Amino acid sequence: MSIELHCPRCGKLIRAPDNAGGKHGKCPYCKESVYVPMPAGEVEEISIAPLDEAEERRAAEERRRSIEYITAVDQGADTRGLADEGDDSVDTPGEVIDVAATVEMFIVAMRDSKLDEAEEAAAMLKRTGTRGRDYVQGLTVDEMPPEIENVPPPVVRGFLKTLLARLK
């Protein structure tokens, strides 16, 4: 018996021997690398953990709040009232922390070896709770502002990892 599959590039039918299951081979027509799946009878079924409904609800609520916050920011609205009881931020009343500018301040301070300023920026970001952590986790080195574009990307990633550790 052989394993039948279609090449993802050219779409032609390929027949591979059973012993090729779980390995990579080349399409005989277009020479594209093709993964040959295991024969149906040899696939081991792996059970998965059941969904945690409470975690799913919490994640959905967090996504809803994030979208609400981003929409408000895009529209230039006052975002101070958007933190609700589920948010672990501890911004003081009347204080609005610009997360992006504070992250940039942290990276520039680290770049310039101004550790006191970096610590101050980290403390400000810690007061933003999940909003700050989510922002830092979502950053990519490609999005960095011009003030720090001369800092090598691996160094920026290291600074961001350090900052994330401080925000937990």
Co-location of 30 and 84 in the same domain: no
Instruction: Give the number of other Cβ atoms within 10 Å of residue 159's Cβ.
Output: 21
Helix (H) / strand (E) containing 17: strand 13-17
Inform me whether the pLDDT recorded for 74 exceeds 70. Answer: no
Q: Is residue 72 part of a domain?
A: no
Computed over every residue of the chain, the mean pLDDT equals 79
What are 92-117's pLDDT values in tens digits? 555 678 888 888 899 889 988 899 99
In a domain, 64, yes or no: no
**Containing structural domain, residue 19:** 4-8+11-42
* pLDDT above 60 (res 85): no
**Total number of domains constituting the chain:** 2
3-state SS, residue 45: coil
Q: Does residue 70 sit within a domain?
A: no
Are residues 162 and 84 located together in one domain of the fold?
yes
**Is residue 86 over pLDDT 50?**
no
